[in-house]
Amino acid sequence: MRNESIFIESKKYIPGGVNSPVRAFKDVDILPPIIKKAKGAIVTDEEDKDYIDFVGAWGPMILGHNDDDVVKAIKETSENAIAFGAPTNLELELAKLICTTVPNVDMIRMVNSGTEATMSAVKLARGYTGKDKIIKFAGCYHGHYDGFLVEAGSGVLTENIPGSPGVPQDSIKNTLIAQFNDIESVKELFENYKDEIAGIIIEPIAGNMGVIPASQEFINSLRQLCDKEEALLIFDEVMTGFRVDYKGAQNIYNIKPDLISFAKIMGGGLPCGAFGGRREIMEYLSPVGPVYQAGTMSGNPIVMAAGLATVSKLNDNPGYYEHLEELASMLEDGVKEITKEKNIPVVINRRGPMMTIFFNDLPEVTTFKDVKKSDTKRYSRFFAHMIKGGIYISPSQFEALFINITHTKDHIERFLELVSTFEG
């Protein structure tokens, strides 16, 4: 009852009892467990029930919860440095590590969230090109910035909000919506808004309408179109960065975006984000250039220390990605086999350790339209079954699940065991 009583009390003081909507489990009509601690792949609620966690704080915890090196870095740094609002060596170290090991990032600016990262990258693209319009794709989520709350994914999709009240029409008049994996819809916008489009922002492997990878051909065409139309290509790698590959989705597609946004993993679980890219574009930012962007907490030393501990561990251990791939493919294959035997129509989309099990009877799910045909009621039943059995997955059909390096074959087997007792 403690979970329930805390949640009920929270609702008196925090809207919906949560500080970010999807945490409320509204879509699945179940009360969320109140989490009090976590270690490795296990999160524990206030009633001391353990769950094998496949949410990973919505992405950051690729090393598992409370990784010893990350905790040590946070503890040691906080002895001497909490916040200075001044340059530090720690921010240099993290910036240098990312710039020297991730392609196409000559320079990087730290911020405090993924929303800030994408919002700032878009502002920079507008300032640099002198154009106002931005193309985003239906179903992609880039944070809660007004200009992105049009046909967005993640909680906006889950809650069925077609945008959001409070977003003035004026704030979205420069946001153009194209269809994911449909190059004609992008070409049409460039034809209709000749010389007005500053750039395209895309989750190259979308995770916020469930996992939908862009096709190679689509990404190649976006690059060509941007070059032709003198627009910038912005990869939102908030979810995919350091996950699908240490070097991100851009490495998988072998493409050069002009700007890239990061968050989640790069902050080691603390509030963090960053955007980076070509030097000549990044030097358009103040104080070097005219585009103003700032933050009291940006580059906070404790956050930088946690990020550095996480990113350097990933950089030093390429074998982690093999482990992630091995377990994720074991999970994918297992779920496919079991659901086939049980005659439950399922499409699984996966890139590395991020995947979505779509309860969907289409042969494949490659567009936002396909995603919306998923059986969300069946997903809710699946979720209820899994959480009861101690597997913590996203309370929404339209999110990804994540494998982290502390997951083991036993954890995957437990997941599959529960899938095999799911009645559909």
Closest approach of Cβ 153 to ligand PLP, in Å?
8
Chain Cα centroid distance, residue 263: 8
| Distance of alpha carbon 351 from alpha carbon 333, whole angstroms | 13
Q: Is 132 a catalytic residue?
A: no
Looking only at the bridges linking them, the beta strands covering 133-137 and 197-202 are parallel
Active-site choice (258, 264, 321, 375)? 264
Cβ partners under 8 Å of residue 235, min gap 6? 202, 204, 248, 249, 250, 257, 259, 260, 261
| CA 146 to each of CA 166, 223, 422: distance values in angstroms, whole numbers, following the listed order | 9, 26, 40
Q: Is 365 exposed, middle or buried (0-12, 13-18, 19+ CB in 10 A)?
A: buried
Chain Cα centroid distance, residue 130: 29
Total residue length of the chain: 424
Active-site choice (53, 67, 136, 141)? 141
Q: Cα 306–260–86 angle (5° rounding)? A: 45
Taking Cα atoms as reference points, which of 214, 145, 155 lies closest to residue 175? Answer: 145
Closest approach of Cβ 115 to ligand PLP, in Å?
3
| Distance of alpha carbon 423 from alpha carbon 150, whole angstroms | 36
Closest approach of Cβ 207 to ligand PLP, in Å?
6
Give the nearer residue to ligand PLP in terms of CB position, either 206 or 418. Answer: 206
Q: In 102-158, which residue ranges form alpha helices assigned H by DSSP?
A: 114-129, 155-158
Give the nearer residue to ligand PLP in terms of CB position, either 141 or 402. Answer: 141
| Distance of alpha carbon 357 from alpha carbon 348, whole angstroms | 5
Q: Is 87 exposed, middle or buried (0-12, 13-18, 19+ CB in 10 A)?
A: exposed
Taking Cα atoms as reference points, which of 354, 272, 352 lies closest to residue 95? Answer: 272
Other Cβ atoms within 10 Å of 346 Cβ, number: 20
Cβ partners under 8 Å of residue 326, min gap 6? none
Q: Is 13 a catalytic residue?
A: no
Q: Is 49 a catalytic residue?
A: no
Give the nearer residue to ligand PLP in terms of CB position, either 51 or 58. Answer: 58
**DSSP secondary structure letter of residue 71:** H
Task: Give the alpha-carbon dihedral of 325, 331, 333, 337, to 10 degrees.
Answer: 180
CA-based max dimension of the chain: 61
Q: Which residues bind ligand PLP (CB under 6 A)?
A: 58, 113-115, 118, 141-143, 154, 203, 207-208, 236, 238-239, 263, 273
Q: Which residues carry out catalysis?
A: 141, 236, 264
